Amino acid sequence: MHFLSSIFIRPVQSISINFGTFRGFIRFVLAEIDYMFRFKSYDSELRPSSPRRYVFVCLGNINRSAFADVVAQSKGLNSISIGLSTTTGAPATETAIEVGDQYGVNLRNHRATNLTDYKYREGDALFVMELRHIKRLLESGLPRESINVLGQWARPRRIHLHDPHTLSPDFHFTCMGLIFSAIVHIASLRE
């Protein structure tokens, strides 16, 4: 019986650690397919090629984009972060703060900014965590030529950076590690 249960437990644990949930895994697969056929143009180069400001975008601006912003600043990039559906002033989550500490990233002073409180500037490079965020930015009138998919620079590449909110610390660590690697890669493009 132990052997049979281990056959099912390992894949479930792997999905939980690497994709957050089965839904996160499915979104990852669908995003890879969608990216291949509809969004491939987003990986040709950094948009704009010499950003003046790096703008990290996720849904709540309390986990992923908050982490990306602080890492980018630590690498000398002029950056901010915004959420597509958040409350301006909301703090980072406790789990994000704890996982950030493991990466040497302090999220204690982070406060969320909603998209409606963001003012686009010429030279802004926006980095989304999920392909569906592109549609929201375009609907808000932001220029397509300023939008990037952050996960294309992650190592390994991960087009869909699933929202870790309310998920395990292990998945938070995985997600933040992918974001960290993407920022390091992006920062190296300036050198």
Q: What is the DSSP string of 134-174?
A: HHHHHHTT--GGGEEEGGGGSSS--S-----TTS-HHHHHH
**Contacts of residue 60, Cβ cutoff 8 Å, sequence gap at least 6:** 83, 85, 86, 90, 112, 163, 165
Q: What is the DSSP letter of 90?
A: P
pLDDT, residue 40, reads 67
**Contacts of residue 178, Cβ cutoff 8 Å, sequence gap at least 6:** 151, 154, 155, 156, 158, 161
**79-83/124-128 β-pairing:** unpaired
| Domain residue ranges in the chain | 2-188
Three-state secondary structure call for residue 4? helix
Structure tokens, 156? 């390994």
pLDDT, residue 46, reads 80
pTM: 0.90
Each residue's pLDDT tens digit in the chain (191 positions)?
Answer: 444 444 445 677 888 898 999 999 999 999 999 888 877 666 657 888 889 999 999 999 999 999 999 999 999 999 999 999 999 999 999 999 999 999 999 999 999 999 999 999 999 999 999 999 999 999 999 999 999 999 999 999 999 999 999 999 999 999 999 999 999 999 998 86
d(CA 136, CA 164): 20
d(CA 86, CA 126): 17
Q: What is the CATH number of domain 2-188?
A: 3.40.50.2300
Beta bridge partners of 83: 58, 114
Report the chain's mean pLDDT, rounded to a whole number: 90
pLDDT, residue 151, reads 95
pLDDT, residue 4, reads 42
Cα-based distances in Å from 186 to 146, 164, 183: 15, 22, 5
Cα-based distances in Å from 2 to 5, 6, 7, 9, 10: 5, 6, 9, 10, 12
